Structure 1
Amino acid sequence: KKHDRGWGVRGMRYPATEKLEIIRTVEGSHLPTKMTLDMLGIPRTTFYRWYDRYVEGGLDALADRAPRPKSVWNRIP
């Protein structure tokens, strides 16, 4: 089922709504967190990073952040 939704694909970026759905799935599961995350294909470090952000700032904190601009080694000041 996780692959039907596209979950568990390596390097995939999730929208905030799907991150929240994953958090709620893990919270509502009767299985241990590790087992639930293994079934979903989500690394524990990723989940707990999302969970910490969600606890601190709610749904808005789960939104993707823009990557840092890459410095160009030969840019003229």
Structure 2
Amino acid sequence: GDQSDQFGKAVSALSELVDGLESRGQDISDGLAYTNAAAGSIPDLLSQARPPLQKVIRETDRTAGIVVADHEYFDNVLNTLPDA
């Protein structure tokens, strides 16, 4: 009956999926290889970016300290700038 038809459709759909995956096997393999290579390069990228980022963070912290210490002056500067 109805369950048998549903099971038959599920088996057919699964068979189509397996056939599709088989025909795209090389594409899937290439995609996994590229993903693996990209994952391997992320730590290298982060290790190269770390020193410049540390400097930017230090300088941002220093600048924020200056602005906070003299906030009245900076408030005045911002309030007197012309509107864009």
Q: What TM-score results when the alignment is normalised by the length of structure 1? A: 0.23
Q: What TM-score results when the alignment is normalised by the length of structure 2? A: 0.22
Q: Which of the pair is proportionally richer in helix?
A: 2
Higher alpha-carbon Rg: 2
